[in-house]
């Protein structure tokens, strides 16, 4: 079984081609052995970026004037869903080029920033780490205290960040800092594009449960890090718009690869249920197993519908704060439910490393926490409902 959304959503010929190219790449390159290796070693496979670039994935949403494909939010959703079917870690690696970096710079960057960064994203040279969360600023995303103080035409950044994926492995850090402590917490924030080799940046790796193939998770200390004024993204004190916009798009990206992963798990579970025999017949013939998988497919199809509704709204230029949070909430919680319940199909084998369901279950747990917990998503939705 290999369900996809082509007929349901009326994809264009180009989108079908993009989907098929992504599916071909992931099936050819992201083998079981390869994915187990990057998980075991806790490394992000940056060596794949040049090949992704040749196929147009890293520059998919970058305007054609910078060498990209000029693709839509739906195009990106199609690709991230396909990557997510095979590897949540590699899907998130691709998104750190497409979403955290290219999208933010396209929307908020200066001409000089666009001219420098976007062609490098397209070529696979540039990938970003979003350095925002702090020990006391997690769900309360605007409560950061890392500061950036003017020093002539430069700024000096001082403070600490936590849970920065890829901080020691990426060429560029997207760093948030408070540039005006005298105003409301949402108003005095600025964002900087910081070269990761700048003196004063020190990283400490934190071991983690899952998403090990996405690279290291770091605590980052900024000890009087000097950056030029030209590093400002979104203008002085304009950082909250960048943060809010980045997180909104990140939630759609997360939903994309969570939907893909849920579908991938269901496909594997159905195949196993048709092969594994007990009491003289395939276990998929037992109603308990069949109905379990049906329920998981229904939940995943609903998540896909919510996801593509939001992508279409982004393409239309329609506000979609509520829809983005709804899509993210349902997709991430569906993935956790799918991986947990589908593990029962494998029985005892699912608890071992003989099969991949245990790795996907470990990876899935991140997405009901990262880029806004399920509780934060519910808060956002309730406010949009007028509650």
Average pLDDT over residues 230-254: 93
Mapped onto helix, strand or coil, the DSSP state of residue 317 is coil
Q: 1 pLDDT band (50/70/90 cuts)? A: very low
Which one is the CATH code of 244-384: 3.50.30.30, 3.30.43.10, 3.40.50.2020, 1.20.140.10? 1.20.140.10
User: Who has greater pLDDT, 248 or 299?
Assistant: 299
The answer on pLDDT for 7 being more than 50 is no
Comparing 73-87, 96-110, 213-227, 273-287, the range with the smallest average pLDDT is 96-110
Give 309-340 pLDDT, tens digit per residue: 999 999 999 999 999 999 999 999 999 999 99
The whole-chain average pLDDT of the chain stands at 95
Q: 5 pLDDT band (50/70/90 cuts)? A: very low
Give 166-213 pLDDT, tens digit per residue: 999 999 999 999 999 999 999 999 999 999 999 999 999 999 999 999
CATH superfamily of 6-126: Acyl-CoA dehydrogenase/oxidase, N-terminal domain (1.10.540.10)
Q: 50 pLDDT band (50/70/90 cuts)? A: very high
Q: What are phi and psi of 179, to 5 degrees?
A: -105, -10
Bridge partners (DSSP) of residue 282 are 277
Kindly compute the dihedral angle of the four CA atoms of residues 176, 136, 336, 333, in this order, to the nearest 10 degrees.
-80
The answer on pLDDT for 341 being more than 60 is yes
Looking at residue 257, what is its pLDDT? 97
Give 116-172 pLDDT, tens digit per residue: 999 999 999 999 999 999 999 989 989 999 999 999 999 999 999 999 999 999 999
Q: In whole angstroms, give the CA distance from residue 85 to residue 265.
A: 8
Domain with CATH 1.20.140.10 in the chain: 244-384
Give CB contacts under 8 A, 24+ apart, made by 16-24.
18/56, 18/60, 18/71, 18/75, 18/78, 18/79, 19/78, 19/79, 19/82, 21/55, 21/56, 22/55, 22/57, 22/78, 22/79, 22/82, 22/83, 23/82, 23/85
82's enclosing H/E stretch is: helix 73-86
What's the angle, vertex CA 327, arms to CA 134 and CA 6, rounded to 5?
130
Please answer whether residues 180 and 152 qualify as being in contact, where contact means their C-beta atoms are separated by less than 8 angstroms. Answer: no
Domain with CATH 1.10.540.10 in the chain: 6-126
The answer on pLDDT for 222 being more than 50 is yes
Domain with CATH 2.40.110.10 in the chain: 129-237
Q: Any idea which residue has 């899935």 for tokens?
A: 364
The domain made up of 129-237 has a fold known as: Butyryl-CoA Dehydrogenase, subunit A; domain 2 (2.40.110)
Please answer whether residues 260 and 83 qualify as being in contact, where contact means their C-beta atoms are separated by less than 8 angstroms. Answer: yes
Q: Which of 247, 244, 242 minimizes the C-alpha distance to 231? A: 242
Q: 2 pLDDT band (50/70/90 cuts)? A: low
Taking the CA of residue 240 as centre, how many other CA atoms within 13 Å lie in the half-sphere pointing to its CB?
16
The answer on pLDDT for 385 being more than 50 is yes
Give 207-217 pLDDT, tens digit per residue: 999 999 999 99
- Among residues of the chain, what percentage have pLDDT more than 70? 98
Q: 101 pLDDT band (50/70/90 cuts)? A: confident
H helices of 277-320, where?
287-316
The answer on pLDDT for 294 being more than 90 is yes
Q: In whole angstroms, give the CA distance from residue 174 to residue 190.
A: 10
Q: Which of 219, 255, 247 minimizes the C-alpha distance to 81? A: 255
Q: In whole angstroms, give the CA distance from residue 3 to residue 259.
A: 12
The answer on pLDDT for 3 being more than 70 is no
Question: For the chain, where are the E strands, in sequence order?
Answer: 128-131, 147-151, 154-165, 172-178, 189-195, 201-206, 217-228, 232-233, 277-278, 281-282
Please answer whether residues 241 and 200 qualify as being in contact, where contact means their C-beta atoms are separated by less than 8 angstroms. Answer: no
What's the angle, vertex CA 299, arms to CA 297 and CA 303, rounded to 5?
110
Running DSSP on this structure, what letter comes out for residue 182? Answer: T
The answer on pLDDT for 6 being more than 60 is no
Average pLDDT over residues 103-118: 96
- Among residues of the chain, what percentage have pLDDT more than 90? 92
């Amino acid at each position: 079984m290999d369900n996809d959304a082509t007929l349901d959503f009326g994809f264009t010929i180009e989108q079908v081609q993009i989907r098929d190219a992504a599916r071909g790449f992931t099936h050819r390159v992201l083998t079981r052995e390869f994915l187990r290796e990057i998980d075991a070693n806790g490394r992000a496979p940056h060596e794949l970026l040049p090949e992704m670039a040749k196929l147009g994935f890293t520059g998919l949403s970058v305007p054609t004037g910078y060498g990209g494909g000029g693709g839509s939010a739906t195009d990106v959703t199609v690709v991230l869903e396909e990557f997510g079917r095979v590897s949540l870690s590699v899907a998130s690696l691709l998104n750190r080029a497409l979403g955290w970096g290219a999208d933010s710079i396209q929307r908020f960057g200066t001409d000089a920033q666009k001219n420098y960064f976007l062609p490098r994203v397209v070529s696979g040279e540039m990938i970003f780490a979003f350095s925002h969360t702090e020990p006391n600023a997690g769900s309360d995303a605007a409560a950061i205290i890392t500061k950036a103080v003017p020093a002539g035409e430069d700024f000096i950044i001082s403070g600490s960040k936590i849970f920065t994926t890829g901080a020691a492995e990426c060429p560029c850090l997207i760093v948030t800092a408070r540039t005006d402590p005298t105003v409301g917490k949402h108003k005095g924030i600025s964002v900087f594009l910081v070269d990761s080799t700048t003196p004063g940046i020190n990283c400490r790796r934190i071991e983690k449960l899952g998403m090990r193939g996405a690279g290291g998770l770091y605590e980052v200390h900024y000890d009087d890090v000097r950056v030029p004024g030209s590093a400002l993204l979104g203008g002085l004190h304009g950082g909250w718009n960048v943060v809010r916009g980045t997180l909104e798009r990140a939630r759609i990206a997360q939903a994309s690869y969570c939907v893909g992963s849920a579908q991938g798990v269901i496909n594997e579970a159905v195949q196993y249920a048709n092969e594994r025999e007990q009491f003289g017949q395939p276990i998929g013939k037992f109603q308990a197993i069949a109905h379990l998988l049906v329920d998981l497919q229904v939940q995943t199809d609903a998540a896909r519908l919510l996801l593509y509704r939001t992508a279409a709204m982004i393409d239309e230029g329609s506000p979609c704060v509520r829809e983005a949070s709804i899509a993210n909430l349902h997709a991430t919680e569906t993935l956790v439910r799918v991986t947990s319940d589908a593990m029962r199909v494998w029985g005892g084998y699912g608890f071992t490393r003989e099969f991949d369901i245990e790795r996907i279950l470990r990876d899935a747990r991140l997405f009901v926490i990262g880029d806004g917990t399920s509780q934060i998503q519910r808060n956002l939705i309730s406010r949009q409902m007028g509650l």
